[in-house]
Amino acid sequence: MKFLNLLKIFSISSYQIPRSYSKEAPKALRSLKAKSTRDTVQYYIDSYRVRAVGGNGGDGCISFLSAWCKGHAGPDGGDGGHGGHVIFKATHSVKSLNHCKTVTQAKHGEKGYNKDCTGKNAEHIIVPVPLGTIVKDDKGKVIADLSSEGIMFVAARGGAGGRGNKFFLTDTEQAPDIAEFGAKGECKTYTLEVRSMAHVGLLGAPNAGKSSLLRALSRARPAVAPHPFTTLRPHIGMVPYDDYEQVAIADLPGLIPGSHKNYGLGIQFLQHVERCRGLVYLLDGADSPRQQYETLTYELSQYNPTLSTRDKCIVVNKIDLPEGRRGYEDLKKTHKVIGISAKTGLNLGELLRAIRDIYDGEH
């Protein structure tokens, strides 16, 4: 009998339907690896002003050849090499503009030499940028949209190399003593903007617990503190799901009344929101969540009415506190909300499923 029972248990446990064939919603994978203890906090740069400077062309050379058998063998000054270009190239292998430098200077071309030797051309500098980067000139006009893999934009052309005196040899001028200087490289200023920054953005008033939530959901480590405007730049965290999809979640700086008039971090903040596919409205349950929700929707609709119609999910945080739970119960009567606690990890599974629905466009 005992043997039969054992057989029964074994046969049930060994016959499990593989997850890939089941119709269940994808589950978020929680990382088992400990977070890094390094002090550096990495924020995400989605807009960057850069100066691209092309290399100068090398100067042409003035030289006259004097061979042992022929004293005046003629001019032999070579041309200078061309300066390098600065090129922006779209690639899927970079996700942000963190690696970009404020000034990118290409190398100069080498000068020309005697014996008709041309100077070496400088190599071009190729700056990788994320797919979907928009290049704006210094007047704010969009001049390039790097939306597909490998597409390039020449940001600053290098100067052409100057010609050496050999070039100026003519029938009438047999000993030209002139050569050209290399041309100067272009110097231009651009603003690079990553059009799509994250799949889901965490939107909320200062101190609502956005950074705490990103810490709880992903391996990112934005600073958390009990005072407003702790986060001044966006942070991105990745949430992996068991079907190998990864959802990027952005912790954005806090939004205050009047942001559309550029109060607080204002317009700059709302530009970050524009680059998210869907939004999670994170409300502080202990601080009149209904009013916070109305402020958020009002500010978004004032800045850009299409923002308030994006896929969204309303979340009330801090339900571990009695006043937080009261705020949650109150808002639940009129809206579809998820109550969570970023601090204790309460109900995060439900939120992760809602985030996945926003990602899949099913919300």
In the list 86, 314, 342, 348, the residue contacting ligand GTP (rule: CB under 6 A) is 342
Residue keyed to tokens 């809602």? 354
Residues 213-252 that bind Mg ion (CB under 5 A): 230-231
Which tokens hold the place of 251?
Answer: 């912790």
53: amino acid identity, one letter: V
Question: From the CB of 29, what's the least distance to ligand GTP, in Å?
Answer: 22
Which tokens hold the place of 256?
Answer: 């205050």
CA distances from 151 to 129, 144, 154, 325 (A): 10, 10, 10, 51
Binding pattern for the stretch 315-334 against ligand GTP, x by CB under 6 A and - elsewhere: --xx-xx-------------
Question: From the CB of 280, what's the least distance to ligand GTP, in Å?
Answer: 12
324: amino acid identity, one letter: G
269 near 253, Cβ under 8 Å?
yes
Question: From the CB of 19, what's the least distance to ligand GTP, in Å?
Answer: 31
Question: From the CB of 202, what's the least distance to Mg ion, in Å?
Answer: 9
The interface partner of residue 133, options being Mg ion, ligand GTP, none and the CB cut-off 5 to 8 Å by kind, is none
Nearer to ligand GTP, 226 or 361 (CB): 226
Looking at beta carbons, which pairs linking 64-70 to residues 24 or more positions away fall under 8 Å?
64/165, 64/175, 65/114, 65/115
Q: Is 358 in the site for ligand GTP (CB under 6 A)?
A: no
Q: Is 295 in the site for ligand GTP (CB under 6 A)?
A: no
Residue keyed to tokens 């390094």? 38
Part in contact with ligand GTP (CB under 6 A); list of ranges 116-124, 138-146, 265-273, 340-348: 340-348
How many chain residues interact with Mg ion (CB under 5 A)?
3
Question: From the CB of 195, what's the least distance to ligand GTP, in Å?
Answer: 24
In the list 212, 259, 292, 295, the residue contacting ligand GTP (rule: CB under 6 A) is 212
Binding pattern for the stretch 189-208 against ligand GTP, x by CB under 6 A and - elsewhere: ---------------x-xxx
Nearer to ligand GTP, 185 or 209 (CB): 209
Measure CA 188 to chain center: 21
How many chain residues interact with ligand GTP (CB under 6 A)?
24
Nearer to Mg ion, 165 or 231 (CB): 231
Part in contact with Mg ion (CB under 5 A); list of ranges 4-12, 74-82, 207-215, 296-304: 207-215
In the list 98, 103, 143, 229, the residue contacting ligand GTP (rule: CB under 6 A) is 229
Distance, CA of 124 to CA of 112 (rounded, Å): 19
106: left (phi over 0), alpha (psi -120 to 50) or beta: beta
Question: From the CB of 207, what's the least distance to Mg ion, in Å?
Answer: 8
Residue keyed to tokens 């700059």? 268
Could you write out the three-class secondary structure of 132-195?
CEEEECCCCCEEEEECCCCCEEEEECCCCCCCCHHHHCCCCCCCCCCCCCCCCCCEEEEEEEEC
Give the SS3 label for residue 127: strand
133 near 191, Cβ under 8 Å?
no
Q: Is 211 in the site for Mg ion (CB under 5 A)?
A: yes
Binding site for Mg ion (CB under 5 A): 211, 230-231
Interface ranges with ligand GTP (CB under 6 A): 204, 206-212, 224-226, 228-231, 253-254, 317-318, 320-321, 341-343
